[in-house]
Amino acid sequence: MCFFKVHPDQRRQHWLLAVFAFFVSILPVINILSAKTITLQLGLWAPTFSVGAFGYALTFPCTDVITEMWGKQRARFMVFLGIIVQLGAMAYEVLVIYLPPSPEFAAKQQAFAASFVLVPRIVGASLLSYWISEWFDIHVFSFIRRFTGCHLFWQRVTFTTTVSQALDTIIFIPAAFLGTEILPWGQWNFLAWFAFCQWAVKASLTLVIIPACSYLRWVTGYSNPARVSDEDWRLLLLQHQD
């Protein structure tokens, strides 16, 4: 069955599954890559930030889209799935590190384990900042929508995402890096600069993502969003037949 020829209700469920899958799959990747920090030379400005900022910039618009088109309950369920996936990925990473290496890999084991040394701490910091900031994003977005209805979508996404990303950054950066080689104790000026750069990257990328969110809102027929029925939620759990 051609994706673009399905019934509109089925198409909405397809997009819901797609957003869910993208959201929960990118989170463990972000946690692994966040251990690396980079500095970009942009003229007189040289921001330093974790590469995880690129990935996290994609997550908050996802929760806003789900809240807008499928309701707050679905968005909270997606965030809960994200927590489960991150915990499962961390457990698997720890298991892989401590499994005895083969003779051929033994010489590389130390370097391999060192690349994951910060991952458990990063995952813990990520879970804390993720849960608080995503909860804030979902509920503030839903609260504002009570007054605006289906209007001012861009403005609502921009405001809630930018503020939520700032909250996420304020919690995540100290919890993940403070006291490490990346961010030693006492370097408070660098801490503030590092956090600001992290937030600026997320906020800038959000402006690029919002048009894609608006397109998804249009293509699924939610120009006038409404709560999805219990029947639609049941259909989400069924396999679509070709």
Give per-residue burial for 61-90: e unless 16+ CB within 10 Å, then b.
Answer: bbbbbbbbbbbbebbbebbeebbebbeebb
pLDDT by residue (tens digit) across 58-102?
Answer: 788 888 888 877 888 888 899 999 999 988 888 888 888 888 889
- 55 close to 29: Cβ distance less than 8 angstroms: yes
**Residue 151 phi/psi, 5° resolution?**
-90, 165
Q: % helix / strand / coil in the chain, to the nearest 5?
A: 75, 5, 20
DSSP 81: H
Query: In whole angstroms, what is the distance from residue 236 CA to residue 5 CA?
Result: 18
Classified as helix, coil or strand, 118 is coil
* pLDDT for res 220: 65
- Gap between the Cα atoms of 227 and 67, Å rounded: 9
pLDDT band at 239 (very low <50, low <70, confident <90, very high): very low
Query: Which residue is listed with tokens 């937030």?
Result: 199
Distance CA 120, CA 175 (A): 12
At residue 182, the pLDDT reads: 64
What's the pLDDT tens digit per position in 18-58? 889 999 998 888 877 777 777 777 666 777 777 777 777 77
How confident is the model over 88-140, as pLDDT tens digits?
Answer: 888 888 888 888 889 888 888 888 887 777 677 877 888 888 889 888 988 88
Both tokens of 212, joined, read: 């894609």
Which contiguous run of DSSP H or E holds residue 67?
helix 52-70
Helices 72-98 and 119-148, packing angle to 10 deg = 170
Q: Hey, where are the domains in the chain?
A: 3-236
Q: Does the model's pTM come out above 0.85?
A: no
Six-digit token string for 35: 């251990």
Q: Is the pLDDT of residue 1 over 70?
A: no
Distance CA 36, CA 118 (A): 10
Among 25, 131, 14, 17, smallest CA distance to 80 is for 131
